[in-house]
Amino acid sequence: MKWTTIKRVLIAGAKNFVRGDAVSVATVLIMTVTLTLIGSMIFLSALLSFTLNTITNKIDVSVYFVTTASEADILAVKNQIESLPQVESVTYTSAADALTAFRARHANDELTLQALDELGGNPLDASLSVHAKDPSEYGSIVNFLEASPALSAGGTSIIDRINYAQNKSAIDRLTLATQAMRNIGFAIVILFAIASILIAFATIRLAIYTAKDEIAVMRLVGASNAYIQGPFVVTGIIAGIIAAALVLLILWPATWYVETKTIGWFGGFNVASYYSSNFVLIFLILMGSGIALGAIASVLAIHRYLKA
């Protein structure tokens, strides 16, 4: 299209939106509700990711070593584990540190402390706490340790036990939950997108219906389909932009209100802080969704009137 034609289409689309009165307002309101749902899904997805990451960080596999293992040998095993691509981090806890932590946890349990003192030594083992990048990778890490046991200079394994069996059920449940949340979230987004297009389609189609005679005349004088579609697509895009702007404005006080009323509910997830720090991304998603919904719904709505 020439710039003159594009300018005419843009002006016509803006005039259609203004002349639409109640229909334009209804279109904006419906799209506002739709984009609010999409915005809510963004925050819900962020909350689920935060929660899953928090739970994931609390699950690990501990490797315990025999009491005769030297610190140098244990640190050598630590270096081997850290070199694995599946591993996020490895934390070393010496036997002395383990004993100090044990005493702190049972500071109010006199019987346990007395029994520990009667042993006359440190019964606790040094250990490595292994965090994987993904919960599903713990099995391969344990397989690596079992297939290639670390040996001391004497030729005997210095690994006493691995607590993977005790944590396996929790790790498996977390893996399934993570995959299910991702799949459910993706499906919900798709359903919302389809529902949004259908709702906007129905409303915009009403506006186009009122202009069916005008469309018929334009076809009789030889106007191209693109020229006829243009103003209605522009009208839909304007509605989408206004709706997105309204949602962005509504979310600002809404996230602040939710944060003040639900502080401490989400395990440290700050709704208002997330909105402010990710505003550009949320702006692009909502504005892009509004423009896409308005354009697609308009094209679908006017299609029947362009058939020969």
Go through the chain and tell me how many residues it has. 308
Q: What is the mean pLDDT of the chain?
A: 78
Q: Which two tokens stand for residue 197?
A: 């297009």
* Beta carbons within 8 Å of 248's beta carbon, 6+ residues apart: 282, 283, 286
Work out whether strand 61-65 and strand 87-93 pair parallel, antiparallel, or are unpaired: unpaired
pLDDT value at residue 245: 94
pLDDT bucket at 304, cuts 50 / 70 / 90: low
Whether the per-residue pLDDT at 204 is higher than 80: the answer is no
pLDDT bucket at 266, cuts 50 / 70 / 90: low
pLDDT bucket at 283, cuts 50 / 70 / 90: very high
pLDDT value at residue 40: 83
Specify the amino acid at residue 14: A
Q: Does domain 67-157 have CATH number 3.30.1360.100?
A: no
pLDDT bucket at 299, cuts 50 / 70 / 90: confident
List, in sequence order, every beta strand (DSSP E) within the chain: 61-65, 87-93, 127-132, 159-162
CA distance 113 to 103: 7
CA distance 178 to 53: 9
Whether the per-residue pLDDT at 88 is higher than 80: the answer is yes
Whether the per-residue pLDDT at 198 is higher than 70: the answer is yes
pLDDT value at residue 1: 55
Mean pLDDT confidence for 9-24:
75
Per-residue pLDDT of 98-142, as tens digits, reads 878 878 887 777 777 777 677 767 777 888 888 888 877 888 888
pLDDT value at residue 259: 75
Is 195 within 8 Å of 38 (Cβ atoms)? no
Enumerate the domain spans of the chain: 3-55+174-306, 67-157
207-221 exposure pattern, b = at least 16 Cβ within 10 A, e = fewer: bbeebeeebeebeee
pLDDT value at residue 109: 74
